[in-house]
Amino acid sequence: MRKLAVCIGVNDYPGTDRDLAGCVNDVKDWQAALSARGFETETLLDRRAKKAAICAAIARLLAAAAAGDLVVVQYSGHGSYIPDEDGDEDDGFDEVLCPWDIEQGNPLSDDELDALFARRRAGVRVVMIADCCHSGTVARVESDRPPRLNGARAPKARFMPPAVFMPAAARVKRRAAPPRAAEANALLLAACQDDEFSFETWLGDRPNGVFTRVALAALAALPESATYRDWYRAIRKRLPSRKHPQTPNLFGAAEQTAWRVLA
């Protein structure tokens, strides 16, 4: 069995004033954890993480995977939303990842990701780990290194307002909606709910995604027999918190959530 992974991290968002700080560190940490578990890993960082490059990397891994193999796609960066055009979203919006070239109008939507994952061969397992905001109604823009509050740097939301990359005519206010039914093409472990922010913060002078830090700490403490449901329960013991009000999510069929973690 082969275990293949691509880890994607975007701190630099040219043409915007919304750079992040912890996403490349997230990728380094995820890559180390995955490599220790036998994954063949590749990374796409900043300018290498254009939309076309991300799609090509995912397609390449899926083409290389055979029945019984495991493919992991890890992403840290901004998230946002765009109007839903095919009627499959209860709230009228598709969640999107924000590649390095987002300012050029290149969001990567959940529909596009699902279409990519659908290319997998029968028996190939796909897991996506996303540390980003999937949506939001208001964006609070903060500096690249937020000011210190009581000696600590303030958390920063990983949310890209649609106004940054969408024509004015397409900008509409998002409304809350009930959770969607799980998609079958991939298991998703997400940093927050569709209508929440995902935060990054600093431990000393090293920034990271809050979810990444919590998820990797939980992963290190799991027994070999642990399932994704077990991992998710361990994460939920620490998130949401008073300082970081984000509620991680696990989307997938019952069979998928019962898979052994990264095995």
Residues annotated catalytic, as ranges: 78, 133
- Reduce the DSSP state of residue 44 to 3 states and report it: strand
HSE, CB side, 13 Å, CA atoms: give it for residue 230.
14
Burial of 182 (0-12, 13-18, 19+ CB in 10 A): middle
**What 3-state DSSP class applies to 46?**
helix
Tokens of 107: 């969001």
Distance (Å, whole) CA 229 – CA 250? 8
Closest CA relative to residue 238, chosen from 202, 213, 258, 257: 213
| Encoded amino acid at 172, one letter | V
